[in-house]
Amino acid sequence: MNDLMENNSAAAGMAPSGPGGTRSEICVVDGVVYLPEGRTVEVESGEFDQLLRKNLPQEIVPDVLAQWKGSAGRITRLQWLGTLLALLAACAFLYYFFPKITPKMLEPKSSMEVVDFSRDLRSNSPYRGEYERALQASRHGNYHETVQLLKDSVADIIRTGDRESDSVLYLYFDSMLKLKDIDSNGAGAVDQLRVLQEFDRDNPSWAQFAFELDPRIRRSRNYEEIHKMVQESQFSNPLRKYIFDVDYALKQLKVMRTLVNPVKYSAEQRKQYREHFDLFEVQLRISRWILFGASTGKFPLPDNLGDPGVDDREKALAIARKYESSSCEDFWLARKFIAETLCRNDSLFNHIYWDGQYLKTTELLQREISICNQRLNRRTQP
């Protein structure tokens, strides 16, 4: 091994050297060819171009030089500046001309809009005079006057089963729905609407009016008032009566969902109705949670998976969370109410079942309350 290393060193030493210790010509030592060593040439220099022209075939020199210049080019400072200015201009255009995304103004959900499927009232109808006067009163916002003008006509139409005067019925119930004191008139109207549903089952308007006007259903949807009664033990009726009313409302809601179909409603209308129906279900299921929890006689309300009412509460939460981008504040109020009620009912060493998991602390519930407050105060967008 030592002999081999000495021979290689000797061969290298025998190669002629140029300035700086580099070989200036080709030499062969012990059968090994040593090429001359030159100096480094900058690839972007004129000398490099001359070497290419000198050593390459003349017919390919122009193409090689063109490709080399294209691949070896550098972005100048001026090009960088131009690119930066173009980006700034694009950002300015997007800022000034594209619509700004801002949180929607939250509003309470109003009564659902009941679509009018009624026929035009015939010109010789015996109700034409009252109908025309009532229509003018309604257009001016005088809904009490509208109801009073049509009250006797509606009773007569329902008694005789007149199928050609449903436009009078629609105006009457629509005006009643817009009254501020709905509950004082709602019970009688619901009885009339039940009759209409019997002989005019294809018209979904009567079921929708009945749902909105029924005082029992309106009371069942008011979960905050029900919670207050539970806390103060001030029930005007047995607890089971309130539970029955909630279950009745959920059954009527199920009927309404089947009536809103593609045959009668557009996709946009079905979307709006679905949001109304989901809100009604959220409200009713929260009430059911409170009532079933109170029926156990335990305080605070039971909050474990499988406890009475807990499944309704979880369903209400899941539905409400689907509408984070909605302009309806009632979904956010429902979420906040659930979280705040659970926090108030919490006790030492208690584990709360919420959103599909058990919580050892109220940290996630407090975070939920904070998110709801921020959105309700319009400070942020979900």
| 93 found inside a domain | no
Residue 180 sits in the same domain as residue 233: no
| 78 found inside a domain | no
Residue 241 sits in the same domain as residue 347: yes
Which phi-psi region, left, alpha or beta, contains residue 281 (left: φ > 0; alpha: ψ -120 to 50)? alpha
Q: Which amino acid is at 84?
A: L
Q: Which amino acid is at 276?
A: H
| 330 found inside a domain | yes
Residue 229 sits in the same domain as residue 330: yes
Question: Domain with 149 in it: what CATH number?
Answer: 1.25.40
Residue 233 sits in the same domain as residue 381: yes
Residue 256 sits in the same domain as residue 379: yes
**Burial class of residue 46 in the structure, from the number of CB atoms within 10 Å of its CB (0-12 exposed, 13-18 middle, 19+ buried):** exposed
How many whole angstroms separate alpha carbon 190 and alpha carbon 211?
8
Residue 182 sits in the same domain as residue 147: yes
Residue 53 sits in the same domain as residue 144: no
Report how far Cα 220 is from the mean position of its chain's Cα atoms. 27
Count of domains forming the chain: 3
| 101 found inside a domain | no
Where is 191: in which H helix or E strand? helix 182-199
| 336 found inside a domain | yes
Residue 269 sits in the same domain as residue 340: yes
Residue 284 sits in the same domain as residue 352: yes
Residue 166 sits in the same domain as residue 240: no
Domain stops at, among 148, 175, 203: 203
Report how far Cα 259 is from the mean position of its chain's Cα atoms. 25
Q: How many other CB atoms are found less than 10 A from the CB of residue 133?
A: 14
| 337 found inside a domain | yes
Domain hosting 122: range is 118-203
| 266 found inside a domain | yes
Q: What is the pLDDT along the chain (382 residues), one digit of tens a residue?
A: 444 444 444 444 454 554 445 556 677 777 676 666 666 767 667 777 777 677 777 767 676 666 666 544 455 656 666 676 777 777 666 555 554 445 567 888 878 989 999 999 999 999 999 999 999 999 999 999 999 999 999 999 999 999 899 999 999 999 999 987 776 666 789 999 999 999 888 899 999 999 999 999 999 999 999 999 988 877 778 899 999 999 999 999 999 999 999 999 999 999 999 999 999 999 999 999 999 999 998 878 889 999 999 999 999 999 999 999 999 999 999 999 999 999 998 888 889 999 999 999 999 999 999 999 999 997 544 4
**Burial class of residue 349 in the structure, from the number of CB atoms within 10 Å of its CB (0-12 exposed, 13-18 middle, 19+ buried):** exposed
Residue 195: partners with Cβ closer than 8 Å, 6 or more residues away: 158
| Cβ atoms 308, 338 nearer than 8 A | no
How many whole angstroms separate alpha carbon 33 and alpha carbon 31?
7
SS3 content of the chain, % helix, strand, coil (to 5): 60, 5, 35
Residue 240 sits in the same domain as residue 379: yes
| 100 found inside a domain | no
Residue 133 sits in the same domain as residue 7: no
